[in-house]
Structure 1
Amino acid sequence: APEEDEIIFGSADFEAYLVDNDYDYVDWAVRKDSDTINTVFGNVDGFSDAYSWEYSGTCYKYNFTATADTWCTWDAGKYCFIFNPREDAGEANIRLTRWFYVADGRVNGGGQMIEEVGDKQKDWYKISFGGGIWDVGSEGYMGEWEVNFHNVSGDTLDKTKFHTTDISIINFFPPNDESCVAAMNFKAYGEFNGEPGYYIWFSPDSFFMRFPVLNLK
């Protein structure tokens, strides 16, 4: 851990293991934008961060664990975890790397908008949405979002959906005098019913700043 290309927000757990017939010390590091320089965490290059390196008790297996709080001191971007046990003379060198991302902002979750039209629930207007988006600094925005138009006032949009993994803009709005609720909006390019070349603005209501308004272009 982490998984290759995983996006981390907040606490990061690093895990690895070694199967060997004798105990070896281990060098390890987390580095920004490189697997050789720019160390931010580890037990090399002047760092002495806490970690656990213990024998599991079975099958010559040794387990490594360490935890970092990325929120306080790490810049958003791409990082590499390096795990390098010190093998004995004559043994093959083991050096494992795992690339991942650290985010300093995120939007995730989902919901739906319903407008009651008439007495029958099947006639009500309904749009559902959900996904996750992360701000990864110089790497841009990463994530996935989907909007489903179940039943809307325009019949041509009924039972359609917009799907994106290409988020270009995110804006955040703190609470104000009219609302105690923070809000956000974003612009994303993607596919509408499987056809590329569309973008969508997902935004809060400009007055109440709480109910999303969707504009498909």
Structure 2
Amino acid sequence: MPKKATIPPTSEDSGSKSARTRERILDATAHVLSRKGYSGTRLGDIAEQAQIQAPAIYYYFGSREELIEEVMWTGVHRLREHVTDVLDGLHPETEAMDRICAAVEAHLHVELELSDFATAAIRNSGQVPEDLRARQLAEEAEYGALWAQLIGDLDAAGGLRAELDPRIAQLLVLGALNWAAEWWNPEEGSFDTISTTAISLVRHGLSGHSRLIPGDGPTG
């Protein structure tokens, strides 16, 4: 029987395959980086996770640093995009506090369940050299501005506790949410539990309808 002729792949097929391989490398890097950290991430581990030969990585990325930089930026970008999409899907008349609580849940959902990229970016933010963080920092600034707007809207509506500084409140909330990536273990508690707890803490911590009792607190 004559051998069937092989149809060479079209440029579109080749491009799609190349794009899929590149994405697989990025996924593998995010997985390794989120677990082993910047200093512990090796191209060999990435190649094994992506099921390719290590030298093939250089076809798509010029260096280990370039690859990690892409993952770090992607992590923050996807986090901001997801939270923005959730907020855009809310009813226009949703109250400021309810918008903040929706953002809390969306942030945790991406960080803990949806994306190794977000986890990698959060866990390695202080480890990656400064020259690799320019795009990530710009993305973080945009995400910070989103949260500043959320808390600013709550303050403008009279819903923020009078004794709170809006900027410090924003930084503390984001810091607490980000830190969850370091300690949360899905085997020790459900996502619903951590989400509900975080939302309750943020709602009652920021709300102007729940003020400190006079004399209460560390200086009382």
Q: Same fold per TM (> 0.5)?
A: no
**Normalization by structure 1: what TM-score?**
0.30
Q: As a proportion of its length, which structure holds more helix?
A: 2
**Normalization by structure 2: what TM-score?**
0.30
Q: As a proportion of its length, which structure holds more strand?
A: 1
